[in-house]
Amino acid sequence: MINLSGLLSIKGISRPELFSFFDQVSSTKNSSQKQNQKLSTTSDQVGILAFFEPSTRTRVSFEAAGSALGIRWIVLNPENLSLKKGESVKDTFQALALYRPDFLVIRHHLSGFCELAQKWTNLPIINAGDGFNEHPTQALLDAYTLWKKNPKKKYKIAFFGDVVRSRVARSDIYAFRALGYDLSIVDDGGLETKLFAKAFKVKLISRAKLKAQDVVFCLRVQKERGSQVQMPALMPNDLGKQTLVMHPGPVVAGEDLAYELCDFKAKNNLVHEQVENGFWVRKEILRNVLNLKKRGPKK
Ligand code: CP
């Protein structure tokens, strides 16, 4: 899964694969913190960052982690590509592949786009979020954040907010389920949420049950994907004393999380830990993808 040349999906990942990956992340983190290591093997690697939707955390953490590994990046700005002149995306990606990058990191608004791009280019692709389909690197950093806190704990986690249009929810469900966590979704009364819960075999709970959770995983309303969800923001009095709050970001303060819950350094708030772990997790993903590239020189 993670040791394939690329990372399109987290679906089907196993607990041993996750544990082995988390061990790698922790060991890289510890050794890098001791002696700011760079991998000599990656110095000739070129990656393309192709983000067709806005991003702060994912794009910058990939760029920072890759730079720390010696990767040279080509950062595309979709506004300046010849797509604007009417060229197809397929022709665009086939042209990009001819410049022989070693891999691509892609974010796109179409669900399933990364799989298509891999077929067009035959290059390793890391899915940095495709429509409402998946966000596998986010799932790895979310799962790592909880595992790091307590590797043995079987967390009770409730998703709160716009689950239906969330690629994070989908990928997190695959990763959290592999770790044996107890998952639920807060019922907003909508038919789509009921159908989603049924399709993903996750139980629906009432908002009042949030107090009994170890973690509330809050999700932004995906207005750019046509969401009509109108749940009042998560409030401090929704939570138990020990309940941990997670959110993949970006947070819309007052809409997803009440302003009082937007102190990302607060004891029970993991938002900044998630963001920081994004760097280490993505560094390890890049190392896995690039280690496979040691098979031979570029032709
Ligand atoms: N969580 C996440 O994907 O954030 P960005 O959109 O800022 O990358």
Q: Give the predicted TM-score (pTM) of the model.
A: 0.93
Q: Measured in angstroms, how far is the CA atom of residue 55 from the centroid of ligand 1? A: 5
Q: 6-135+276-295: which CATH architecture?
A: 3-Layer(aba) Sandwich (3.40)
CATH 1.20.1630.10 fits 136-270, yes or no: no
Which among 55, 141, 172 is the best mutation to test ligand 1's pocket, defined by most ligand atoms within 8 Å of the CB? Answer: 55
Q: Which atom of ligand 1 is nearest to the CA of 53?
A: 6
Q: Is the peptide bond before 297 cis (omega within 30 degrees of 0)?
A: no
Give the residue whose CA is nearest to atom 5 of ligand 1. Answer: 55
pLDDT at 3 over 90: no
Which H helix or E strand runs over 177? helix 167-178
Q: Which tens digits make up the pLDDT trace of 72-122?
A: 999 999 999 999 999 999 999 999 999 999 999 999 999 999 999 999 999
Q: Hey, where are the domains in the chain?
A: 6-135+276-295, 136-270
| Tokens representing residue 183 in the block | 């998952």
136-270 shares the fold of 6-135+276-295: yes
What does the pLDDT read at residue 28? 86
Q: List residues near ligand 1 (CB under 6 A).
A: 55-58, 129, 138, 248-250
Ligand 1 geometric centre to CA of 7 (Å): 17
The predicted structure's pLDDT at residue 225: 84
Does residue 157 surpass a pLDDT of 80? yes
Provide the pLDDT for residue 231.
87
Nearest CA to ligand 1 atom 3: 58
The alpha carbon of 295 and the centre of ligand 1 are apart by a number of angstroms equal to 32
Going by pLDDT thresholds of 50, 70 and 90, the confidence category of residue 37 is low
Torsion angle, CA of 165/279/242/10, rounded to 10 degrees?
40
pLDDT of 77 reads 95
33-47 burial code (b ≥16 CB/10 A, e <16): eeeeeebeebeebeb
